[in-house]
Amino acid sequence: MYDYRQVEAVAAVVLEGSFEKAAARLHITQSAVSQRVKALEDSLGRMLVVRASPVRATDEGQRIVEHYLKVGQLEADLGASLVTDRPAAWTTLPVAINADSLATWFLDAVGPLLRRERVLLDIVTEDQEHTYRLLREGRVAACITTRADPVQGWRSLALGDMPSLCLATPEFAARWFSEGLTPAAVREAPAVLYNRKDSLHHRFLSDLFEEEVDFPAHYVPSSERFVDVLAGGFAYGIVPALQAERHLADGVLCDLAPGRAVSVHLYWHCWSLTTRFVEELTENVVSHARAVLGWRVPAR
């Protein structure tokens, strides 16, 4: 039987990314956190965390964190099922969500669950091609990703296609793309990307021109401010169609390449172990996403 304080310390260090933040989370000293982690490593005879910045779990450490999160969910299920005069404790679900889904449909999907249950979401925002890493590291209980293949012990459920459009203000289009969206114009016109992991703009241009094209770019890591940069006439960029509808309808933005949407197929990954809150979260996310995104069986 493991010392659960030691298991909790390992999980806190990995989830928070540092011994200092783990100490604040557990309301103990940093030295106590370090001693508990070291004690569990010594008892198991293997390293559980890589002491870097941020701290990350080894393969064995990832399994410890995943175990800790699952036990927390099972305890929450048990607490909710017991008859008591005291209100049920809040349970926290760490999830990794891509910024575009968070800005468009995700909160609508989980709203009914949050209104009905004592559930707290701990959302980590990451590019849809990188949320999978957080899952493999044991830092989240579920994620939205472009990867179809599940981690061992997890489920993968298709959500649907999320199309995005290449947009700018009419004034920006007239200034930079008077002869259309050409490779020569793209090499000069300022684009905007979410961050340096954002590959969607590159993919759109490669599909359009059938070659790689270099371009100048702003980096704006906020879905809302990203659209503000476009609406301000400072750049052109790739925006989810769900987020673009209103701006296209009122004429603030225009489609630079009609009929040339670039899509990503999204998947929901979660534990195979069924707990009530994870099951309800999964049901809400999958059903809402499939309705909004236009789900179809993905080609294999």
Q: Which pLDDT tens digits describe the chain residue by residue (300 residues)?
A: 778 898 889 888 988 889 999 888 888 898 989 899 988 888 888 888 888 888 888 888 888 888 887 777 777 666 666 655 566 678 888 899 998 999 999 999 999 999 988 889 999 988 877 888 888 777 788 999 999 988 777 889 999 999 999 999 999 999 999 999 999 999 999 999 999 888 999 999 999 999 999 999 999 999 889 999 999 999 999 999 999 999 999 999 999 999 999 999 999 998 776 677 888 899 999 999 999 997 554 444
For helices 106-116 and 276-293, give the axis angle rounded to 10 degrees: 150
- Fill in the DSSP letter of residue 93: E
Rounded CA separation 194/218 (Å): 8
Rounded CA separation 274/272 (Å): 6
Asked: is 1-80 a CATH 1.10.238.10 domain? The reply is no
Q: Range(s) for CATH 3.40.190.10 in the chain?
A: 161-261
> So what's the pLDDT on residue 273?
67
Q: How far is CA 81 from the centre of its chain?
A: 30
Contact indicator for 278, 140 with CB cutoff of 8 Å: no
161-261: which CATH number, 3.40.190.10, 3.40.430.10, 1.10.260.40, 1.10.357.10?
3.40.190.10
- Fill in the DSSP letter of residue 190: P
> So what's the pLDDT on residue 80?
63
Buried (b) or exposed (e) across 20-58, using 16+ Cβ within 10 A?
A: ebbbebbebeeebbbebbeebbeeeeeebbeeeeebbbb
Q: What's the pTM?
A: 0.74
- Radius of gyration of the chain from Cα atoms? 22
Q: Range(s) for CATH 1.10.10.10 in the chain?
A: 1-80
